[in-house]
Structure 1
């Protein structure tokens, strides 16, 4: 019997098909989803870079979500798929697709990690022929899907695992265990965004002052709190002496919601409705004392820039999508056992009782807890 020194437990890896991080030269991480989905994948880049510092790591995302990842220190290049390509006609779309594929092929990836169920990721793994490829195991998918990847990542069978951890499971599947500091979301606004926001705050007379950033809307309106209650919350905060800055996306629906809130306020709040890019929104939020919003990309942006976050949740799951990695409070109904249901309003009617029932007093109390920290 050998009495030699046993390997340290922290270096032991029981995974037989683990990928050696030191042999990864170039990696591509694919996340073809909405803004918030892309942002919650940002720790995957940080963790992979921490374990394979020699690797160049690229991203493939939809063009409109690219700002969620550009300037990320772990990312070498951000490649994009245009949602508008289908409107270019057959020849135009084919040219765009070929140009993208040629750019990806020229990078010579050793590792491709596909974080969604989109078939594009499977086909790219087949065509790019990386040494290693990771994709989600999806029930009901045929053998062609399964054979596209060298490693299949198991997904949790409940709604209790945060999407940050679910994304990081792709690394765990190949033997890379992210440390606590590597699990943080990250969004870098950049110098130009910081400068423009500084100029806007100076215009309001708010440069260097504390303020609360409120973003009431979501692209999915069944996730939104009623206008009258949001206005009452803002009025209560103003009466306590807090300065409130409102934002909304450029869409007519979100801007109209903000106008309806402002119309109910005795003293309209400062508003940057529809005026900010995603990077500028991040720059503004980073300077706020507190962010208040709903389950939306701006809520994830607040967490990614380190701002204390108060989030209102209705039919969507806060265990999966709540604020990550910052001081936070989630206000959700304890009176509706049916939530989270994932339905676009009760009965599909675009209005969620579990949100409508939340009181101003409940949300204000949560704000006070965060402001006291």
Structure 2
């Protein structure tokens, strides 16, 4: 039985792999032809690519790169190369002429080899490969400054590092999010209570997370102590508290809708993840829970306000993962931000 289970897993992997590779080449051909057609329409206008296709927090943090590139190329046609699930983050940027969806890093390698772009600002560190494809993406600019996955958080915040990987000066600007009116109207239609405390409890990596029991304890205390409603955002809810002032929107919002909910918050409490970058980019006041991440002990991913310590309390029990952050620290940070309870 175990033998057949292994065989099925092996052949499933092979099917997914070769289906992906064939699809990548078809996608590459069609996208190259689309870009050739675009270039023919642009005439002498240069075609410029900004490349940072993932992750959510990285893209939000590096938004100022679009503004910097527009200043350098005021007459260019500028595209941000991005994965489909993150396209919404760059779709409405006023300094971009559009975005370009990549299927995988290997497809990007093939497109760059054609020389279709007149100028490329690639923020990716070398060797972030597709799990199915043999191509190994290289960024010579990042390699030249010795920026690797082993040291990148030792070099500064995400914007500071990745702007240099793209061959730009080390940028320190405030990140912004561009939320269109249609998104604001969709959030308004949810009829959320005013001035909520918005929480985000789970990231894409367990090393960034705070314990479920601590989150539930905190939410119960918040609801028992303060008049503010509590809203949970993210992909999957972990809060079990049943209370008329608690609402979970997990799995119900787009990226920009999540950002709009955070923008409207009285206080955001979260871990180091994409929504924390949304809070920084939308002007929210925050309490952020950090901890050791791999070998990175003292790191700060945020530029702008949060790097300067404005409107944010950053909790980090240095040398310990976020899971070991004392509950009392978080509660004390809330008391300092919200003041003494209005009622008990």
Question: Given the two structures, how large is their TM-score scaled by the length of structure 2?
Answer: 0.69
Task: Tell whether 2:121 aligns with 1:136.
Answer: no
In structure 2, the partner of 1:30 is 51
Query: For the Cα contact (< 8 Å) 1:262–1:268, is it kept in 2?
Result: no
Encode CA deviations 1:13-43: one digit per residue, 9 max, x unaligned: xxxxxxxxxx994421111332112222211
Write the distance in 1 (CA, Å) between the matches of 2:240 and 2:209: 16
Q: 1:193: how far off?
A: 1.4
Write the distance in 1 (CA, Å) between the matches of 2:230 and 2:204: 22
In structure 2, the partner of 1:347 is none
* Alpha carbons of structure 1 residues 369 and 59: separation in structure 2 relative to 1, 3 Å: same
In structure 2, the partner of 1:111 is 119
In structure 2, the partner of 1:330 is 314
In structure 1, the partner of 2:94 is 73
Aligned-residue CA RMSD (Å): 3.4
* Alpha carbons of structure 1 residues 367 and 136: separation in structure 2 relative to 1, 3 Å: farther
Write the distance in 2 (CA, Å) between the matches of 1:191 and 1:105: 38
Encode CA deviations 1:293-332: one digit per residue, 9 max, x unaligned: 1111111111111212221112325624247534212111
Write the distance in 2 (CA, Å) between the matches of 1:223 and 1:170: 25
* Alpha carbons of structure 1 residues 322 and 370: separation in structure 2 relative to 1, 3 Å: farther
* Alpha carbons of structure 1 residues 162 and 120: separation in structure 2 relative to 1, 3 Å: closer
**24-33 or 274-283: which moved more?**
24-33
Task: Tell whether 2:204 aligns with 1:219.
Answer: yes
In structure 2, the partner of 1:364 is 331
In structure 2, the partner of 1:243 is 229
Match of 1:191 among 144, 164, 181: 181
Write the distance in 2 (CA, Å) between the matches of 1:315 and 1:237: 27
In structure 2, the partner of 1:169 is 164
* Alpha carbons of structure 1 residues 213 and 328: separation in structure 2 relative to 1, 3 Å: same
Query: For the Cα contact (< 8 Å) 1:26–1:55, is it kept in 2?
Result: yes
Write the distance in 2 (CA, Å) between the matches of 1:120 and 1:292: 31
Write the distance in 1 (CA, Å) between the matches of 2:102 and 2:287: 33
Query: For the Cα contact (< 8 Å) 2:60–2:277, is it kept in 1?
Result: yes
In structure 2, the partner of 1:311 is 288
Q: 1:224: how far off?
A: 1.4
Write the distance in 1 (CA, Å) between the matches of 2:45 and 2:127: 24
Match of 2:67 among 27, 46, 54: 46
Match of 1:59 among 80, 85, 98: 80
Query: For the Cα contact (< 8 Å) 2:142–2:165, is it kept in 1?
Result: no
Query: For the Cα contact (< 8 Å) 1:300–1:324, is it kept in 2?
Result: no
In structure 2, the partner of 1:145 is none
Q: 1:196: how far off?
A: 1.0
Q: Structure 2: where are the runs of 5+ without partners?
A: 1-43, 130-137, 340-344
Write the distance in 2 (CA, Å) between the matches of 1:262 and 1:162: 34
Q: 1:266: how far off?
A: 5.9
In structure 1, the partner of 2:240 is 262
Question: Given the two structures, how large is their TM-score scaled by the length of structure 1?
Answer: 0.64
* Alpha carbons of structure 1 residues 119 and 224: separation in structure 2 relative to 1, 3 Å: closer
Q: 1:112: how far off?
A: 0.5
User: Alignment length, in residue pairs?
Assistant: 276
Query: For the Cα contact (< 8 Å) 2:230–2:247, is it kept in 1?
Result: yes
* Alpha carbons of structure 1 residues 219 and 154: separation in structure 2 relative to 1, 3 Å: closer
Write the distance in 2 (CA, Å) between the matches of 1:323 and 1:218: 20
Query: For the Cα contact (< 8 Å) 2:125–2:147, is it kept in 1?
Result: no
Q: Structure 1: where are the runs of 5+ without partners?
A: 1-22, 87-96, 122-132, 139-151, 340-353
* Alpha carbons of structure 1 residues 367 and 42: separation in structure 2 relative to 1, 3 Å: same
Query: For the Cα contact (< 8 Å) 1:214–1:293, is it kept in 2?
Result: yes
In structure 1, the partner of 2:268 is 291
Encode CA deviations 1:269-303: one digit per residue, 9 max, x unaligned: 11212110111101111111211111111111111
